[in-house]
Amino acid sequence: MTMTTSTAPATNRGMPLPGTRALRTFEAAARHRNFTRAADELGLTPAAVSYQIKEIEDQLGLALFTRNSRSIQLTPAGAVLFDATADALDTLHRATGRARRLARSAAQLRVSLSARFATNWLLPRLPKFRAANPGLELSFDITDELRDFEADDIDIAIRFGAGSYEGAHADRLFDTLIVPVCSPRLIENGPPLNKPRDLLRHNLTLCFVDWKTDTMTWPDWRMWMAAAGVDDEDIDDSRFVGFADSSFVVQAVLESGAVGLADLDLIAGDLAQGRLVRLFDVGVRMAPPYAYYLVYPQESSEDTRVVAFREWMLGEMKDRGVGRTEGSAA
């Protein structure tokens, strides 16, 4: 009988390496060059981050950072380990995403979208989708962050943006129309609001989404007042309160009697149920090419699950009479 043996390549396994949690802490601290910001990202205290870094340095016998009273900097050894750690964590993240994709049902489609879009647009329409696609199961990744399809195990996403996503196809769904809304209680018990200028004559808090990029500003009250024909010199900025997300604007309108600027398509359910009331017929559209897009990897364009969801979404747009354009992201 012949026996065959295989010998693995020799490696230096004598020195223990830090665990994944410790490496994530090091990577965040090295990327931010700041223990406090790393702690905020990881949900730890700065002291805990400092302690874990010290443990790694003691375990490896290396100084990874130089520290002074104002800042931290990577040592040459720390820079080498940072590059390797970032690559290793990214590789592990992507492998985990692929493993999860293999483990889940072939009939499941994983959709990434914002909480506001999910609650106010998609979920009310799910019965129609299920009736049209009984063999397809949807699961959701609720976030405003831009996801990596492979690493985060995402099949398709609904995103607001300029429609340019590397390696992905983007179908334009609908534009954004920003309109003023209030609660029914304000209409019943508050001051008369017969014309746009009345918003400035009464002691009302005016809420909006305070969001800007290099090429776009989310419509604010000054932009809306200009569209409504209100003179710029009559506007008092102290009445304006900005929020990072439209859900906070709607919450302020419902709970505190404020007037807010909101995305008309994403408050359609609130308007239909009488929870919100639209004020005036003036709206401000987002500057092109910013809109809501359906985004998916180019290599998934023939995936039957992606095709089914895409056709259903675009059918919903057509039924609503929404114009759209299609294009491939760069």
Q: 108-148 pLDDT, tens per residue?
A: 899 999 988 998 899 989 999 999 999 899 999 998 888 88
pLDDT beyond 80 at 324: no
Separation CA 64–CA 328 (nearest Å)? 44
Q: What local confidence, expressed as pLDDT, does residue 151 receive?
A: 81
If pLDDT is split at 50, 70 and 90, which confidence band does 330 have? very low
Domains identified in the chain and CATH numbers:
20-101 (1.10.10.10), 105-174+289-328 (3.40.190.10), 177-285 (3.40.190.10)
> Please, which residues bridge with residue 67 across strands?
72
Sheet holding 108-113, edge to edge: 137-142, 108-113, 156-161, 291-297, 168-174, 326-328
Q: What local confidence, expressed as pLDDT, does residue 282 receive?
A: 94
pLDDT beyond 70 at 288: yes
* Average pLDDT value over all residues in the chain: 86
Q: What local confidence, expressed as pLDDT, does residue 320 receive?
A: 66
If pLDDT is split at 50, 70 and 90, which confidence band does 268 have? confident
Instruction: Report the interhelical angle of 46-60 vs 35-42 (nearest 10°).
Output: 110
Separation CA 181–CA 76 (nearest Å)? 56
pLDDT beyond 60 at 12: no
E strand or H helix that includes residue 277: strand 277-278
Q: Sign of the C-alpha dihedral, residues 301, 304, 309, 312?
A: positive
Judge whether 149 and 296 are in contact, CB under 8 Å. yes
- The proportion of the chain whose per-residue pLDDT surpasses 90, expressed as a percent, equals 55
If pLDDT is split at 50, 70 and 90, which confidence band does 11 have? very low
**Lowest-confidence pick of 27-31, 88-92, 95-99, 282-286:** 95-99
Q: What local confidence, expressed as pLDDT, does residue 185 receive?
A: 93
pLDDT beyond 80 at 181: yes
Strand 240-243, strand 206-209: pairing = parallel
